[in-house]
Amino acid sequence: GHLEQATHIPHTEIGDRIGEVTTQKDAKIIVYCRVGGRAGLAKSTLEGLGYTNVENGGGYDDVVQRFQQQ
């Protein structure tokens, strides 16, 4: 699943496609996947490209619970 406000980009494509979402290097970006492992890879890729405000939200269930509480 995915959050309604999320943009689905596979971790293998994040470096090439992040510009579809933002080019602002300080934009808040929360990455997540099924359990958090691929999100960690995506976070590392984005940080390597100079993005400074990237958070690994963990797994899908984690982010759903987090955003339902807000």
Give the residues across from 56 on adjacent strands.
31
Q: Nearest to residue 45, comparing CAs of 7, 16, 68?
A: 16
Which tokens sit at 63? 């982010």
pTM recorded for the entire structure: 0.90
pLDDT score at 22: 97
Place of tokens 């943009």: 7
Per-residue pLDDT of the chain (70 residues; tens, 9 = 90+): 788 889 999 999 999 999 999 999 999 999 999 998 999 999 999 999 999 999 999 999 999 998 888 7
pLDDT score at 30: 96
CA–CA distances in Å: residue 69 to residues 12, 17, 53: 30, 30, 22
CA-based torsion, 57, 59, 15, 17: positive or negative? negative
